[in-house]
Every structure is written in structure tokens, then in C-alpha cells.
Structure 1
Amino acid sequence: MEVSSIAAAASANAAAQLQAEVSVTVLKKAIDIQAEAALQLLEALPQVPAAPVGTAGGVIDTWA
């Protein structure tokens, strides 16, 4: 191999590695943004009032 082809291969390898690192960073930021949006949606849900214990409908068997 000639020196110029070795240098070109090294440069291409460095560029590919940088592109991979940038892609991972962008993916992590996108996941963080989605997590924030999901948390905001969960916080926006209205609170469900608890039924008084001992009254009709106070206990529901969800495993049946």
C-alpha cells in the first residue's frame, strides 16, 4: 500500500467513527426528549378518586 492510500483509509475510518458517535448522541437526545414528553403526558392525566372501602364497587377483582 502506498502512504496516501493508508492516510485515506485512516481518514475514512476516523470519519466513520465520528459519524457513529454523533448518531449515538443524537439518538440519546431523542430518547431523552421522548421520555420528557411521556412524563408530561402522565402528569397531565387527572387523578382518579379512590372509592371508599366497604361500599359497592370499592373493591374490584382484576385477576378474575
Structure 2
Amino acid sequence: MDISPTAMVNAVVATQQVELEQQVQVSVLKTALDAQATGALALLQAMPAVMPLAPSGNLGTQVNLYV
């Protein structure tokens, strides 16, 4: 089996291009995940504080009731 130097160089260059494309895709994915995490954190921080249960009485001691 005889492989020309040009074919070998082309194969190496093609492999490097594929690796670079994969690195770019992973970088874009990480950026998107970071943006989603930031958005989710902002939503969680925007939620109102949880009201505590009533300490005594007939209502609100087991489940928070909002009027």
C-alpha cells in the first residue's frame, strides 16, 4: 500500500479541521449553558421569599395559605 505525502498531509489537515470544529462547538455549548444558568439564577432570585407556616391555630399550620 503506497500512500503519497500529499494524501497524508490532506488527512492530517482534515483531522485538525474536525478537531477545531468540535472545539468551537463545545465552546458555543458552554457559553449557551452559562447563559441559561445565569437566567435560571436570576429567575430563582426574583421569586418572593417563602412565608413561614403559622405557629398555631386552625389554619396555615400544615400548608401555607394566601388570602
Match of 2:60 among 48, 57, 60: 57
Code of the residue aligned with 2:35 in structure 1: it is I
Provide TM-score, normalisation by structure 1: 0.83
Equivalent residue number for residue 14 of structure 1: 16
Q: Contact 1:53 / 1:59 at 8 angstroms: preserved in 2? A: no
Give the share of equivalent positions with the same residue, in percent: 33
Alignment of 1:24-35 (within 5 A): 24-35=26-37
Aligned residue pairs: how many? 60
Offset, 1:51: 2.5
Q: Choose between structure 1 and 2 for higher RCO, CA contacts under 8 A separated by at least 6 residues.
A: 2
Which residues of structure 2 form unaligned runs of 5+? none
Provide TM-score, normalisation by structure 2: 0.79
Kindly name which structure, 1 or 2, has the bigger radius of gyration based on alpha carbons: 2
Which residues of structure 1 form unaligned runs of 5+? none
